[in-house]
Amino acid sequence: MLHLHDISKRFGRTQALSGVSLEFPAGAVTGLIGENGAGKSTLMNVIAGVIQPDSGHMQLGDAPYTPHHASDAHHSGVALVHQELNLVPSLSVAENLALGAFPQRGLGPLRWVDRRTLAEQSDEAVRRVGLDVRHDTPVGRLSPGERQLVEIAGALRRRPKVLLLDEPTTSLTGPECQRLFGLIERLCGEGLAIVYISHNLGDVAQLCGRTYVLRNGTLAGRMERQGFSERQAITLMIGQPLEEVFPERSGRPAEEVVLEVDGLRLPGAESGASLRLHRGEVLGLAGLMGSGRTELVRALFGLDPRPEGRVLVHGKPLPPGSPRAAIDAGLALVTEDRRRDGLLLDGAIRDNVALASLPRLASSPAGWVSPRRVADACDPVATRFRVDSTDFGRQMVSSLSGGNQQKVILSRWLVTEPDVLLLDEPTRGVDVGAKCEIYAEIQRLVDAGTAVLVISSEMEELKGLCDRIAVMHRGAVSGEFRRGPAGYDDQQLLAAAFGRRNEQ
């Protein structure tokens, strides 16, 4: 149905796609996997007409397909369901579904929304995905799973020939996932070409007839359903066997408890979470999206309120609501979303690195900050981390690649010389090279006695890095697993993530 020939796209200094050729047949689910930054989203955007490729061409059916705008893709019958939801919470379900093309009637130039047709269309579209909500419900009142289905209903409304699904299951519960898979298979039977993009290799194995693997903007391989193995998929995704990516752990964690979280209850959660982190230990925090991992870390760092529970650093209680106090106590937090709350994108690299250490670098009491002192403290760290820049004082962070931006954030926290490093999705959107450097740095820090807590949605990352993995479910820790001689047991981890108590 949809053929891509030799697609290439370049952004500034990064080659996002180079010479990718794929084909997506009608009536089949085709998987597309790859690490973050491998070029999946660029490819999606090219297909959806949001981005124009520098070279290469596409073919839809027998006709050439050259979308210049998102609406071209709509008209040609290519629909895209984005990973982040594209819904306006304050508008109703029906209005969201019809957003780009309201049914209208009227006289001449005077046109108004045909509300009856709007409601009918909405009801029909929602029924098609097996959802039962009224057309006038504001989308803001739906659950994440319901919103995902509304989103798919919106994509299907235009009767597409090709449907692209980008990580559709990240916010869904188990039953919701199975419902979605049923829907996908039904649509497939109706002759749609479905492109399924996911991190969840289990889902891909279950659904997809053929799976393409992207790596660093190129096609790294292709796997059929019969020959699909997760191990091989991972090797194709990262370009080397998994064992070589993660450094060998040399030391053992000490007995000394550096960070203790005691009954920290998140708003809306029924019970509190408790954790202990030891000197020289890497603790992984796993769980489904929405299980409260990020919220827990933000609350313990003082970014979000924590109505109940204690946090002890080196046995001393940490006051709530003050990131400054957390930093002074030796905590450091690399947040989940670099652009939202990780970087000053329009600031210089050096200013970004210095930001968390400024009170220490300032000569008290006047608070004057000497530029030389800042440079002396920050530049060596950024240099050691091989942040790719010739001028830390001038070059803006926004001009760096994702991997280098992440290194800037890590450099910032290393300058504060933390005892506890909290990492929330530290390798999201980072290329494999930078990933390995980040892993090596974690290893170096741990060997020097720093305690590290890693949140990651990539199970392989947690399994490769951590001495211990705690699994969260609905704001509480539902299981804790120590690395055995054979690593971790996937079944147990998964069971804990879905809230089943473990017997270990």
User: What is the distance between the alpha carbons of residues 394 and 156, in angstroms, rounded to a whole number?
Assistant: 48
Q: What is the 8-class DSSP label of residue 260? A: E
Q: Which of 150, 152, 138, 148 minimizes the C-alpha distance to 92?
A: 138
**For residues 117 and 232, which CB has a smaller minimum distance to other proteins in the complex?**
117
**For residues 71 and 229, which CB has a smaller minimum distance to other proteins in the complex?**
71
**For residues 301 and 488, which CB has a smaller minimum distance to other proteins in the complex?**
301
SS3 of residue 132 by DSSP: coil
Task: Using DSSP bridges, classify how beta strands 28-34 and 193-197 pair: parallel, antiparallel or unpaired.
Answer: parallel
User: What is the distance between the alpha carbons of residues 1 and 26, in angstroms, rounded to a whole number?
Assistant: 5
User: What is the distance between the alpha carbons of residues 195 and 184, in angstroms, rounded to a whole number?
Assistant: 10
**Closest distance of CB 189 from other proteins, Å:** 28
User: What is the distance between the alpha carbons of residues 371 and 358, in angstroms, rounded to a whole number?
Assistant: 11
**For residues 236 and 259, which CB has a smaller minimum distance to other proteins in the complex?**
259
**Closest distance of CB 32 from other proteins, Å:** 19
**Closest distance of CB 365 from other proteins, Å:** 10
**Closest distance of CB 36 from other proteins, Å:** 20
**For residues 259 and 331, which CB has a smaller minimum distance to other proteins in the complex?**
331
Amino acid at 212: Y
User: What is the distance between the alpha carbons of residues 274 and 63, in angstroms, rounded to a whole number?
Assistant: 59
**Closest distance of CB 339 from other proteins, Å:** 9
**For residues 271 and 504, which CB has a smaller minimum distance to other proteins in the complex?**
271
**Closest distance of CB 341 from other proteins, Å:** 4
The label of the residue with tokens 């980072």 reads: 430
Instruction: Give 372: exposed, middle or buried? Use CB within 10 Å, 0-12, 13-18, 19+.
Output: exposed
| Alpha helices (runs of H) in 209-273, residue ranges in sequence order | 230-238, 242-245
User: What is the distance between the alpha carbons of residues 475 and 132, in angstroms, rounded to a whole number?
Assistant: 28
**For residues 101 and 254, which CB has a smaller minimum distance to other proteins in the complex?**
101
Terminus-to-terminus CA distance in the chain, angstroms? 49
**For residues 282 and 333, which CB has a smaller minimum distance to other proteins in the complex?**
333
User: What is the distance between the alpha carbons of residues 439 and 421, in angstroms, rounded to a whole number?
Assistant: 13
User: What is the distance between the alpha carbons of residues 139 and 141, in angstroms, rounded to a whole number?
Assistant: 5
SS3 of residue 229 by DSSP: coil
**Closest distance of CB 287 from other proteins, Å:** 20
Quote the crossing angle between the two packed helices 174-189 and 144-157, to the nearest 10°.
Answer: 10
- Residue 461's contacts (CB-CB under 8 Å, 6 or more residues apart) are 427, 454
Q: Which residue ranges make up the site for other proteins (CB under 8 A)?
A: 50, 70-71, 74, 82, 86-91, 95, 99-102, 104, 111-113, 140-141, 154, 267-268, 301, 303, 323-324, 326-328, 333, 335, 340-348, 350-351, 354-356, 358-359, 362, 366-371, 374, 393-396, 398-399, 412
**Closest distance of CB 292 from other proteins, Å:** 14
> What are the residues facing 477 on neighbouring strands?
472
**For residues 192 and 343, which CB has a smaller minimum distance to other proteins in the complex?**
343
Cα 446 to chain center, whole Å? 25
Token pair for residue 111? 């046109």
Task: Using DSSP bridges, classify how beta strands 210-215 and 273-278 pair: parallel, antiparallel or unpaired.
Answer: unpaired
**Closest distance of CB 408 from other proteins, Å:** 11
Dihedrals φ, ψ of 409, to 5°? Answer: -65, -45
**For residues 211 and 405, which CB has a smaller minimum distance to other proteins in the complex?**
405
- Residue 376's contacts (CB-CB under 8 Å, 6 or more residues apart) are none
**Closest distance of CB 217 from other proteins, Å:** 20
**Closest distance of CB 154 from other proteins, Å:** 8
**For residues 271 and 370, which CB has a smaller minimum distance to other proteins in the complex?**
370
